[in-house]
Structure 1
Amino acid sequence: MKVINLLLNLVWLVFCGIWMAIGYLIAALICFVLIITIPFGIASLRLAGFVLWPFGRDAVERPGAGAASFVGNVIWLVFAGWWLALGHLITSIPLFLSIIGIPFGWANLKLIPASLMPLGREVVRTDNGFGGR
């Protein structure tokens, strides 16, 4: 399974992983410049690494994430989450147009919840491919 994950991640990296990771890095830089939003920048960097190499890992909700994560996610959604989710949606469309790209299009759509609500999530390894579900 590790060889398959490696191949999927390499193809993913070429077709959309690098571009989406750049979007997350830009969001992180903006958050770091604004200083008060540094926690959002850290979450964005964590997701940039996940978006860069998603197969074999999953973003799961962290137990114990409370009201602060919820409030932070609402703020994130308003200022950055919606355009990152839109980026995932837009990059999934050309992937769905080719037979080979269909699994990558689905993987892109599965990343939308994490892009909308990144706080209170952690990236964990899975042994059964993308999503672990």
Structure 2
Amino acid sequence: MRAIGNLIWFIFGGIIMGLAWCFFGLLAFISIVGIPWGRSCFVIAGFSFFPFGKVAIARDELTLSEDIGTGGLGMVGNIIWFIFAGFWLALGHVFSAIACFVTIIGIPFALQHLKLAGISISPIGKTVVTKEVAAAARNANAETVVSNIRSNR
């Protein structure tokens, strides 16, 4: 089902928003200082081309360790990103979602656009994985927290 959803998504509009992500990625790479944002753009462009069965997850949630993108500098980077590109990409995804919500068949596609609008706001510190990997990481994190709570008693 994911393959069919991704194929229909790609043909009927996913390519447009994916190319928008690539455009902002190229602009970021041209500026040299924007290379970290450009890298995120290309990762999320792949997500935007084929979003069904995938989810964006914070890297520290996946690896259980902070890095430069998941700490304070990542927050500053996301604020800068939002001002220059994130707002426009999120707006494009929201308008696409509204257009998809018009028909019953378009509702799953609208939900994907809203998922992508959310990551458009703050992509730094996130990575894209399958839903199964995200669920496994969250379960492992929950087990670690429970284990720590039990050992502190």
With normalisation by structure 1, the TM-score equals 0.90
- Select the residue among 98, 102, 106 that pairs with 1:97: 102
Unaligned 5+ residue runs, structure 2? 61-65, 133-153
- The answer to whether 1:47 aligns with 2:41 is no
Which amino acid is 2:10 matched to?
L
- Select the residue among 14, 18, 33 that pairs with 1:17: 14
User: Bigger relative contact order, structure 1 or 2, given CA contacts below 8 A and separation 6+?
Assistant: 1
Alignment: residue pair count: 125
The alpha carbon displacement at 1:21 in A equals 0.4
The alpha carbon displacement at 1:68 in A equals 1.0
- Quick one: distance in 1 between partners of 2:93 and 2:12? 12
Q: What percentage of residue pairs aligned between the two structures are identical?
A: 42
- Quick one: distance in 2 between partners of 1:59 and 1:119? 11
- The answer to whether 1:66 aligns with 2:63 is no
- The answer to whether 1:56 aligns with 2:53 is yes
- Quick one: distance in 2 between partners of 1:112 and 1:94? 14
**What are the superposed Cα offsets for residues 54-86 of structure 1, whole Å, 9 maximum, x if unpaired?**
111110011121011111000000000000000
- Quick one: distance in 2 between partners of 1:56 and 1:93? 21
- Select the residue among 113, 118, 132 that pairs with 2:118: 113
- Quick one: distance in 1 between partners of 2:34 and 2:99? 33
Please name the residue that 1:5 is paired with: 2
Unaligned 5+ residue runs, structure 1? 128-133
RMSD between aligned residues: 1.2
